[in-house]
Structure 1
Amino acid sequence: MKHVLVFRWLSSPFRYAFAKLKRKLGKLNRLRLEIFLVIGNKTSVFIKGRVVEGYRQSRPSDKKTALQNLLATLRRYAGSSVPDATVCLAYGNHQRELTTDSEGLFETMLRFTDAEKRDIQSVRFSLLPERGLVPETNWVEKRIHWICKVCPRAVISDIDDTVIISKATNIGEKLWLSVSKNAYTRRPFPGVSEFYRLLTANGEYPVFYVSSSDWNLFDLIQDFLSYRDIPVGPILLKDGHINLKNIWKSGGGNHAHKLEKIQFLLEFFPEQQVLLIGDSGQHDPELYAEIIRRFPHRVEAVYIREVRKGDAAREQKLNQLLPPHRVAWVKTTREAMIHAREHLAV
């Protein structure tokens, strides 16, 4: 019964009520506006962001100790999401107001004419003032990441145990890596930068990162990719809010959201062929198989990094969905690069 009560307390309705109570009692006063996605196709711009309690995060460094990184992690997860906050969007001559959901998240789709696309290159965001609530800044401006050209491929990649060493199948090791390291001290798999630059023509083709990590890690992942010289691109993470009470759940649970986000990308860019990269530690092979079934002829190839002993039946289910040599099960990035040079137009 105790565990059931804890689960219920951490569930979304209770967190929502708790955040509302903190606002009413004046215990929630400084707000932070975070913008995750401002991406555009030929006609539309998709926007996603979040409002959380304000916190001051130190910049990562390869000189930081495990204790300093632990304290930074505590700050990162200490804030609560802020429901029912009003966010104002300004673009060109237009304005729009959005209200955050129970997780503090907001999203919208903006439609643009050709003339507006030429003239509007950024979107400005602001939190509308409320009594007792103070935004950290008045306005936040983000450039629109236009992706209008159809490229020979777009890469959609998992992150944990695909790009970054995470030990996702071992909760203890994964948690320790998450709290004791920062963006500069987390390690990528050897050769990932070179492999992704090969697949994207040195960053000319788009790359998207879809992960079961939570939005609290958004800036860490951005900094990690930049620091390790891995092609950067839009990052789509898990919506459920993680805080200090349930930090152990980060990156776990149901991975169906990854299927939804990959489907969104394929529908948002309907003419674009994609290449999928993941690992065998969790459910990537099954998720990617479902994507191929839903979007036949849209997936150029699949790369799966093997992090546990191979399963012939599991591999066969994915292999049979694409032509020969279009699914590669690899142990190292070097194997993946050799395969790509032999079987793909890279």
Structure 2
Amino acid sequence: MNLPARFLLLGLLLASSGALAGPAVLLFPALGRGTGVFLQGRVLKEAPTRGSSVLSRNLRRLTAPNWKGAKVEVSFQGLTTTVTSGDDGNFEVTLQPVPGATFPTGFYMAEAKVAGASAQARVEVVSDTTPFLVVSDFDDTLAVTQVVKKAKLLESAFFKDSDTQEVVAGMSAFYGCLKAPTSPAFALVSGSPLQFVPRVSAFLGRHGFPPFALYLRDLGPGTLSNYKQPAIRRLLQQFPQPVVLVGDSGEKDPEVYAQIREEFPGRVKAIYIRDAGHAEDASRFKDMILFREASDAAAHAATSGLANAECVATAFPATAPTVEKTAP
């Protein structure tokens, strides 16, 4: 039996050993506009308990049974609607203000309730004057996961949590300096499983990243590839702003982002790719900024008018950033 299968078997044993109790709701942080807010989440029939170890907690998150057919009451800004969860426990809803009104811009809380459980999530209603959106990857872009090494990837997935996962140095400072002239809105589109939304949210908060909307992967046979493009397309269709795409070279971010740039001409202001391995083929990074250190990306963003130069100088005072040559 291979290592992933062993982890899955252990998780199933844990899930059936009385470690689960009561329902739970996952509601995902989101971006919205004054004209409407699109919310997504999942209902669990039995919520994972805290567990006695990081491994057991992660496995219980991944194996908690979904609740099909749950009646979910979703509320935002005084509006409430009820939806029914699907076969996988997922639910989604678009809430729109009453005719003639708009949602005020800023950060607010949405809530989802089922019988016996509720959850809240932060929603940013994005102003039309917001200069751009930042769409970011997570693994090996913000958190050190070492996806190119299977053993390290499994260690990160199962034996790390928000407190012990290593952060990519300088990335929170880089994101904090992205102001042109005001701050952008941030969306995280990642292959991390959606059951890890609480873990990812806690990690981002712990390391001082700006507030993110979270669009994680619903694990299954249909999401082995091409799982990022639908979420990014939806954001580009929902918002008129251009985007800055940030990822890493370890897997397919350069190819995914190149596809998005081709599909949405003129909408992608810049693509930043952190060198996390598999970077030998320069053709993968055509018209992208390949960087090793966050200071290099920040320096490029400052010279391109995407970041505040004074903020960059303050955040990276001990470095003399040199940006890698953009691939031809």
Query: Which of the five TM-score ranges fits, normalised by the shorter chain?
Result: 0.7 to 0.9
C-alpha deviation, 1:122, in angstroms: 5.1
Q: Does 1:44 align with 2:36?
A: yes
**Contact persistence 2:143–2:165 (CA under 8 A):** yes
Gaps of 5+ in 2: 10-15, 308-328
Distance between the aligned counterparts of 1:203 and 1:221, measured in 2? 25
C-alpha deviation, 1:116, in angstroms: 5.9
**Distance change (3 Å), C-alpha of 1:231 and 1:91:** closer
**Selected match of 2:228 from 252, 255, 258:** 258
Task: Give the number of the structure whose residues are more often helix, by fraction.
Answer: 1
Q: Does 1:126 align with 2:113?
A: yes
**Distance change (3 Å), C-alpha of 1:116 and 1:205:** closer
Secondary structure in 2 aligned to 1:296? coil
Q: Does 1:228 align with 2:198?
A: no
**Contact persistence 1:89–1:126 (CA under 8 A):** yes
- Counterpart in 2 of 1:301? 270
**Selected match of 2:71 from 78, 86, 89:** 86
Distance between the aligned counterparts of 1:48 and 1:194, measured in 2? 29
Q: Does 1:174 align with 2:153?
A: yes
- Counterpart in 1 of 2:183? 204
Query: Which residue identity does 2:70 align to in structure 1?
Result: A
Secondary structure in 1 aligned to 2:227? helix
**Selected match of 1:192 from 171, 174, 186:** 171
Distance between the aligned counterparts of 1:314 and 1:33, measured in 2? 40
Distance between the aligned counterparts of 1:153 and 1:55, measured in 2? 37
**Distance change (3 Å), C-alpha of 1:194 and 1:85:** same
**Contact persistence 1:161–1:167 (CA under 8 A):** yes
CA RMSD, 1 decimal: 3.3
Secondary structure in 2 aligned to 1:256? coil
C-alpha offsets along residues 190-216 of structure 1, whole Å, 9 cap, x if unaligned?
111111111247983211111011111
**Contact persistence 1:55–1:79 (CA under 8 A):** yes
C-alpha deviation, 1:38, in angstroms: 4.5
**Contact persistence 1:37–1:49 (CA under 8 A):** no
Q: Report how many residues are paired.
A: 292
Secondary structure in 1 aligned to 2:101? helix
Secondary structure in 1 aligned to 2:212? coil
C-alpha deviation, 1:93, in angstroms: 6.8
**Distance change (3 Å), C-alpha of 1:344 and 1:81:** same
Identity in percent: 28
**Selected match of 1:183 from 144, 153, 162:** 162
**Contact persistence 1:255–1:283 (CA under 8 A):** no
TM-score, L = length of structure 2: 0.79
Secondary structure in 2 aligned to 1:182? coil
- Counterpart in 2 of 1:14? none
TM-score, L = length of structure 1: 0.75
- Counterpart in 2 of 1:61? none
After the TM superposition, which residues 1-346 of structure 1 pair with which residues of structure 2 at under 5 Å, given as runs?
30-52=22-44, 53-57=46-50, 68-90=53-75, 95-113=80-98, 114-115=100-101, 117=103, 123-127=110-114, 129=115, 135=116, 137=117, 139-142=118-121, 144-200=123-179, 204-240=183-219, 254-269=224-239, 271-308=240-277, 309-315=279-285, 318-319=286-287, 327-346=288-307
Distance between the aligned counterparts of 1:338 and 1:313, measured in 2? 23
**Contact persistence 1:123–1:141 (CA under 8 A):** yes
Gaps of 5+ in 1: 11-21, 23-27, 59-66, 130-134, 242-248, 320-326
Distance between the aligned counterparts of 2:76 and 2:173, measured in 1? 37
**Distance change (3 Å), C-alpha of 1:266 and 1:48:** same
Distance between the aligned counterparts of 2:229 and 2:268, measured in 1? 14
Distance between the aligned counterparts of 2:235 and 2:299, measured in 1? 28
C-alpha deviation, 1:186, in angstroms: 0.8
Query: Which residue identity does 1:31 align to in structure 2?
Result: P
